[in-house]
Structures are given as C-alpha cells and as structure tokens.
Amino acid sequence: MLQDPVSWCCDFRGPPASIGLDVGQSGVFPPFDELREVWSRALSLFVLVREKRSVAFSWSAYGESQGAMEKRRAAHEETGQAWDVVARVKYRLEFDAHVDHLRRGGTNLFEPGIELLHPLLPGAHVVQLQCSHGLDALGLLNAGAASVLGVDISREMVAQAESKARVLGLESSASFIRADAVAPPAEIFDTADVVYTGRGSLPWILDLGAWADSVVRILKPDGHIVLFEGHPLASLWDRTVPHLRMRPGASYFSAEPAEEEGFPSAVVRREAGEDRPRMLERHWRVGEVMDTLIAAGLEIRSLREYPDLFWDQFPDWPEALRDKLPNSYSIVARRPAGA
C-alpha cells in the first residue's frame, strides 16, 4: 500500500466528527500539526525514492519446507515487527496529543464509519482488530461503546495503547492484546457485539479466509462486523503524477502479495537499514472480501463505496477528480444466531 507521509491511514487529524459528543475545535493541537509537517518533509523523499523501486518478493524467504499457512503467519509476524519500529519513531511522539484528544471526548472515526457504527455502539462490547496504538479503539468508548478490546500484532502498538488507557483511567473498560488477527486467543471467542476494523488493516492480512473465520469466532451470535477500508482500486493509481494513471504493472486482479513501498516501509528502512523486517501487503478485491465473509457464515447487511479518502494518497490530483472514484468502502455483516 502506498501511503502518504502526511496523512496516511493511521493519522490523527484532530477531531473529525463525533457521535452526539463535543469533540472540540479542529486544530486544537498545534504541536501535532508541527510534528506532522516535519514528518511530511522528512519522509517525502523516502516515499518518492521507494515508489520508483520494484521489489522482488518470493515466499521462499520464509523457508522452503514451511506450509503456506506457516509462511503467511511468519510474514504477519515480520510485518508486526516493522510496525513496532513505526510505532516507536512516529506514534510515541503523538502520544500526548492523542491523550488530550480522547480526554476531550474525541474520536478518530470518519463519517462513513460513524454512520455505520452509530446504531450499534451504545452499550456494546467492541473488539477492534488491528487497533494500532489505541486511538481509534479508545475513541469508540467516547462514541458510546461500553467496552473495547483492541487486538494488534505489534507489541509496541499494544504497549502504547495500554499506556493511553492507563493514563486516561480507562483500564476497566479498555484492554489490548497482542495477537495475529487471523489467530485470536480462544478467550475472546463469542464475546463481541461488534467487531470493528479497517482503515489500512486488511492489506496486511495475507490469509483472508482465516481472517473471516476469526471474525465469526469473535462475534457473539447476532453480533456485527463493521469494516471501513480503503478501496483496492485506489491502490492502482500512480501517486507520482498529478493526473489519473495506473502504476506500471498494477492490476486490480493481482493476487500476489508485494512488499509495501510507501511510508511505513520507508520509515522502517531508515531506522533498520537493509536488514529491516519486511512488510508484505495484498489488496483484496471488494468482491473477494464479501465472498469470504459469506463463506465464513456471515450475512451481508450492506456494501457501500465512497469517494472519501481517509488518508490523502493523492494530494496532487485536481479537485475535480477527487469525488469521481471509489476511494473507500464499507461492509456490515451479521453473525446469524445459528452460525
């Protein structure tokens, strides 16, 4: 996934919106804006350089004798180690701004996510898969959830999320565990009224079937998954030109994982050099995601596509192009009582 250094998927942009809550004024965290500006300048160069490279990838790096599932799990672990690096060098710096925002009742949800979650959250126990450093998960409490459990494969992300909950005195309603989203611990099976995930999550999952099975296991009967994710079509466009053009070699139907070449990898490369952990990603087609959820036993309630960019991949595109293409999508599905 090519990610913009300024406002990528995990970015915190101050209060975007609320669910009947006062989340304060936009721009209340000038130190955060300054930090983002510094990041923007420092990382742009890395991103441009990386976008011009094509990285050969071979599953044999994960061992010839390993089975497909073991290789995918090993790749997930390596991606998690890479996110540890990103968390240390980026999110630690944003910790205080996140805490301030949450203390003021803020959330980090975007409009489509708010609309879908709004009716489901009051009183709900929510499990957020790929919760990152906890800003979104803790914001769900401000948005009406009774309790939240965040799951992430990165130890550093989970540690930061736990620290935020502690500083905010939310330990009784928020907890975090380190686990692969495709192999959650059995203790959390049948616990969630809502599983929430997305915004830069699914591309890191290399086994979609195992992911959907996890979702079903974690949901209580009659519970819902709310997925709000970047549209896979948006991964095809060449971000180095100010008009619509496909990246060389890109295909909507590509089924091969590839090494991520944008912002997170650039940070990891800078910090850890050539021996860095690699970040493999795969852009799942909307139809694949829907079919896989159905095959896992879920009932699809809605599938929607939006022009909304929750991170600005295309800062140079003309305004006229911005609302003409699908940039994100959502799926809401329910675990039927008998499933």
Ligand X SMILES: C[S@@+](CC[C@H](N)C(=O)[O-])C[C@H]1O[C@@H](n2cnc3c(N)ncnc32)[C@H](O)[C@@H]1O
What angle do the packed helices 92-103 and 30-51 form, to 10 degrees? Answer: 140
In whole angstroms, give the CA distance from residue 132 to residue 124: 20
DSSP annotation of 13: -
Q: From the CB of 127, what's the least distance to ligand X, in Å?
A: 12
Q: Check residue 153 for interaction with ligand X (CB under 6 A).
A: yes
Q: Check residue 98 for interaction with ligand X (CB under 6 A).
A: no
Stretch that binds ligand X, among 57-65, 147-155, 282-290, 317-325 (CB under 6 A): 147-155
What secondary structure does DSSP assign to 15-65, as a single string?
----SSS----TT--HHHHHHHHHHHHHHHHHHHHHHT------GGGG-TT
- 231 closest CA partner among 281, 292, 288, 284: 284
Q: From the CB of 79, what's the least distance to ligand X, in Å?
A: 5
Q: Check residue 154 for interaction with ligand X (CB under 6 A).
A: yes
Q: Residues 188-217 vs ligand X: string with x where CB under 6 A?
A: -----------xxx--xx------------
**Length in residues, the chain:** 339
Pairing type for strands 258-259 and 280-281 reads antiparallel
User: Which residues in the 234-273 window bind ligand X by CB under 6 A?
Assistant: none
DSSP annotation of 273: G
Q: Check residue 230 for interaction with ligand X (CB under 6 A).
A: no
Q: Check residue 283 for interaction with ligand X (CB under 6 A).
A: no
SS3 211: helix
Q: From the CB of 318, what's the least distance to ligand X, in Å?
A: 27
Q: From the CB of 155, what's the least distance to ligand X, in Å?
A: 9
Q: Check residue 164 for interaction with ligand X (CB under 6 A).
A: no
Token pair 């095809």 in the structure block, residue: 236
Pairing type for strands 192-198 and 174-178 reads unpaired
Q: Check residue 4 for interaction with ligand X (CB under 6 A).
A: no
In whole angstroms, give the CA distance from residue 257 to residue 161: 28
Q: Check residue 83 for interaction with ligand X (CB under 6 A).
A: yes
- Greatest Cα pair distance, the chain, in angstroms, is 56
Q: From the CB of 95, what's the least distance to ligand X, in Å?
A: 14
Q: Exactly one of 4, 94, 162, 180 binds ligand X (CB under 6 A); which one?
A: 180
- In the complex with ligand X, the residue whose CB is nearer, 107 or 335, is 107
- In the complex with ligand X, the residue whose CB is nearer, 84 or 193, is 84
User: Which residues in the 317-336 window bind ligand X by CB under 6 A?
Assistant: none
In whole angstroms, give the CA distance from residue 226 to residue 301: 10
Q: Check residue 290 for interaction with ligand X (CB under 6 A).
A: no
Q: Which residues bind ligand X (CB under 6 A)?
A: 9-10, 76, 79-80, 83, 130-132, 136, 152-154, 157, 180-181, 199-201, 204-205
